[in-house]
Amino acid sequence: MIHLEKVILRHASEAVLSLYGVTPDAGLLQVQETRKEFEGNYTLVVFPLLKISKQSPEATATAIGGYLQARCEEVERYNVIKGFLNLVIANTFWLRFLSETTIDARYGYTETLDESPKKMIEYSSPNTNKPLHLGHIRNNLLGYSLSKILAAAGHRIIKVNLVNDRGIHICKSMLAWKRHSAGETPDNSGKKGDHLVGEYYVIFDDEYQKETG
């Protein structure tokens, strides 16, 4: 539960005590995010309080809303939809909140402990058999960023980033070259390296089909 919800609950409890002379049980106070079709940031559900107020849902919500608006600086205004008290939070609160969190360099971080859950993040590394392209960079940045996000959430992170992970297709090309190339290279064949590798990948598949066909 964030700080703002606690503030609303505390003032709502004070409102019920001041208006009706009863301190409500914690379970009777329910705060939730306001539905998108209504104005407001948070909504206090007043139906559980009707036995205390002895009033209609609308009257109870209006009375509590007026109390909050007058005494809770976080509440700028309110509106009532049946038994739902929709609260509009003042801009001054959001500005103060942003100012305070900006000062705290570790805001939002969860401390990693010995018993924290362990996560392994595997992501691709550059393949030295062909030029790098944006796809490689994208995958590397995504993997690294994900590891940082999970670490900030308190997980113990193990990063797996294989150096020169050629992949099975390169292994197939290498085996085909070893068995069928007679020492062919890009220099003595006049072919581009990646084209030569591609040709031996095809040769591997052809030979495989002959053996299993």
Q: What is the pLDDT of residues 21-57, one digit of tens each?
A: 999 998 999 999 999 999 999 999 999 999 999 999 9
pLDDT for 173 beyond 60: yes
Give the per-residue SS3 of 69-126.
HHHCCCEEEEEEECCEEEEEECHHHHHHHHHHHHHCCCCCCCCCCCCCCEEEEECCCC
Task: Give per-residue pLDDT as tens, 156-172.
Answer: 999 987 766 667 888 89
Q: Distance (Å, rounded) from C-alpha 201 to C-alpha 159?
A: 31
Interacting residues of 71 by C-beta distance below 8 A, sequence separation 6+:
11, 14, 15
pLDDT of residue 166: 66
Tokens of 59: 């009257």
pLDDT of residue 106: 86
Mean of pLDDT over the chain: 90
H helices of the chain, where? 3-20, 50-53, 57-71, 91-103, 134-152, 168-180, 186-189, 193-212
* Cβ count within 10 A of residue 166: 15
pLDDT of residue 127: 65
Closest CA to 142 of 159, 127, 155: 159
Q: If you average pLDDT over residues 122-126, what whole number do you get?
A: 76
Instruction: Give the start-to-end residue ranges of the domains of the chain.
Output: 3-92, 108-160, 168-212
Q: If you average pLDDT over residues 79-85, what whole number do you get?
A: 96
pLDDT of residue 1: 39
What CATH number is given for 3-92 in this structure?
3.30.1360.70
CA distances 45 to 30, 32, 35, 181, Å, are 6, 8, 12, 77
The DSSP symbol for 183 reads T
Angle in degrees, 0-180, between the axes of helices 57-71 and 3-20, rounded to the nearest 10? 110
